[in-house]
């Protein structure tokens, strides 16, 4: 594990351009963090101004590390699967000499994964995949523990790419050989900017719909020269994180940010994949009238048989109180749709990318943006009509709420096993293509979490196993089985 960093003394200086006081870390010039909570101040600017091309980390305020450490410890108690994996594999060090570029949401749950990977022998450099989802105190705790973390809440677009590049750029002491991605940004930056180093990567693990789609595009174009593991479509990701996590976190996000009561409200959920299913279940359980939009007739039929009206967005846009996108697509909610929304309509996105809601079309001189809370904007029309936009169209549950740690434990264990599999696989087991996680590993991840519920699995007899044509210890379902 990395050794702990050493806190530096602080000096206070006057910044005349901002007319407020800031605390700046003094001491060694390669130790960068900022304690200014103003999102307009970007911590990496100090490193750049000081001519430090490769700082050991860059976070908002490293002095928040004690608070962040408590957050991580709380998450550990509710993440039994990844903690069990850490305990079982730490002696074997299956990731020894692995150098992992990480680009995911940085929160307490991710911190548990990062520290698990380190316990299994890996060295990591980590950036955020979303400019608003980072928990600053958690990033501080990881940096204080010696991890190379480059992230803070409220990154500018330029800072976002600077942080990822700090993880991807090879140096004399850092030659990455694995990528753990959420959305594909680290993969694409490294492929575009560091193509020679990219060819040395042993494997990529991707956990989002958007990132997987980009991987398949690379593969089809013949540009994917390393093997990749699609964990988004593994059963333990799709059926647990996408469904159960979103079922709980969508309500948390909306209530924390808007104080809305759901009983009797009308909501439309765009997309009835696993994320959309979870959102619809939660809204329906609280008494909302729920509509669904879909392009896929199979998903549409599922929605109809689950009791939801399947409609075109234009049919209900004037009457609904909440609009939630969960498609992984672009341009799902347009300016034209928002022009027709009722006063006070809440608009948010549960898909990975911020392309589902056309937020750019709202940044025009005729509309007024009013920030009313963190991650909550009122967009005001000339006639005083306003809509409520969450997280500027980015992931609402990660930007406006906390995630259920237990479900994230399932995903984290899946990611860790995928990294272990690709890193230790014989040279010719995987070609330069996109693969699903082996079924046996999906079942292993599930088994790690069953003791929490005091769940006891039934074991097949020899006769039963022979009758079904199965190994007694699994896998128990064929790859084509739909759970």
Q: Give binding residues for NAD(+) as ranges.
A: 273-278, 294, 397
In the annotated binding site, the residues are 273-278, 294, 397
Q: Which of 353, 415, 350 is nearest to 210 (CA)?
A: 353
Beta strands in 78-157 (DSSP E): 99-104, 123-128, 148-150
Q: Which of 175, 208, 219 is nearest to 433 (CA)?
A: 219
Distance, CA of 311 to CA of 161 (rounded, Å): 39
135-168 burial string, b = 16+ CB within 10 Å, else e?
Answer: bbbbbbbbbbbebbbbbbbbbeeebbebbbbbbb
DSSP class per residue in 220-287: HTT---S-EEE-TTSHHIIIIIIIIIHHHHHHHHHHHHH----TT-EEEEE--SHHHHHHHHHHHHTT
Cis peptide before 311 (omega within 30 of 0): no
Distance, CA of 201 to CA of 321 (rounded, Å): 47
Query: Which two structure tokens, joined as six digits, stand for 120?
Result: 């299994």
70-88 burial string, b = 16+ CB within 10 Å, else e?
Answer: ebbeebbebbbbbbbbbee
Say if CB 183 and CB 103 are below 8 A apart.
yes
- Start-to-end CA distance of the chain, whole Å, equals 38
Residue in the block written with tokens 């940004």: 185
Q: Which of 354, 435, 364 is nearest to 389 (CA)?
A: 354
Task: State the DSSP code for 358.
Answer: -
- In sequence order, which ranges of 286-363 are alpha helices (DSSP H)? 297-305, 313-316, 335-340
Say if CB 248 and CB 404 are below 8 A apart.
yes
Longest dimension (CA), the chain: 81
Distance, CA of 317 to CA of 32 (rounded, Å): 47
């Amino acid at each position: 594990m990395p050794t702990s960093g050493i806190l530096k003394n602080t000096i206070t200086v006057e910044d005349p351009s901002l007319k407020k006081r800031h605390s700046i870390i003094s001491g060694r010039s390669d130790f960068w963090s900022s304690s200014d909570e103003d999102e307009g101040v970007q911590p990496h600017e100090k490193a750049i101004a000081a001519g430090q091309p490769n700082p050991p980390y860059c976070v908002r305020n490293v002095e928040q590390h004690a608070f962040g450490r408590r957050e991580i410890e709380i998450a550990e108690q509710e993440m039994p699967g990844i903690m069990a994996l850490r305990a079982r594999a730490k002696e074997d060090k299956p990731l020894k000499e692995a150098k992992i570029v990480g680009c995911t949401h940085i929160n307490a749950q991710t911190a548990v994964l990062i520290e698990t990977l380190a316990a299994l022998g890996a060295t990591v450099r980590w950036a955020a995949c979303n400019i608003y989802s980072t928990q600053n105190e958690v990033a501080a705790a990881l940096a204080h523990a010696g991890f190379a973390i480059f992230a803070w809440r409220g990154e500018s677009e330029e800072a976002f790419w600077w942080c990822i590049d700090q993880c991807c750029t090879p140096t004399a002491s850092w030659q990455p050989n694995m990528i753990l991605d959420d959305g594909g940004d680290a993969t694409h930056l490294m492929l575009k900017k560091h193509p020679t180093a990219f060819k040395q990567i042993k494997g990529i693990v991707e956990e989002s719909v958007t990132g997987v789609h980009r991987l398949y595009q690379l593969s089809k174009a013949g540009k994917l020269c390393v093997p990749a593991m699609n964990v988004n479509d593994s059963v333990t990701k799709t059926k647990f994180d996408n469904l159960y996590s979103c079922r709980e976190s969508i309500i948390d996000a909306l209530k924390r940010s808007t104080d809305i009561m759901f009983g009797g409200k009308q909501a439309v959920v765009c997309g009835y994949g696993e994320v959309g299913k979870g959102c619809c279940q939660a809204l329906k359980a609280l008494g909302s009238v729920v509509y669904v939009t879909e392009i896929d007739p199979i998903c549409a039929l599922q929605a109809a048989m689950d009791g939801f009206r399947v409609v075109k967005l234009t049919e209900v846009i004037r009457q609904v109180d909440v609009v939630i996108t969960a498609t992984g697509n672009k341009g799902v909610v347009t300016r034209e749709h928002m022009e027709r929304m009722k006063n006070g309509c809440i608009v948010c996105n549960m898909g990975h990318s911020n392309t589902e809601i056309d937020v750019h079309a709202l940044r025009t001189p005729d509309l007024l943006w009013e920030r009313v809370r963190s991650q909550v904007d009122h967009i005001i029309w000339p006639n005083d009509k306003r809509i409520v936009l969450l997280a500027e169209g980015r992931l609402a549950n990660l930007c406006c709420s906390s995630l259920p740690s237990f479900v994230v434990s399932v995903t984290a264990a899946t990611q860790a096993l995928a990294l272990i599999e690709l890193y230790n696989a014989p040279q010719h087991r995987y070609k330069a293509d996109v693969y699903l996680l082996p079924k046996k590993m999906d079942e292993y991840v599930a088994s790690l979490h069953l003791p929490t519920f005091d769940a006891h699995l039934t074991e097949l007899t020899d006769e039963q196993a022979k009758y079904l044509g199965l190994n007694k210890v699994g896998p128990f379902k064929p790859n084509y089985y739909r759970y």
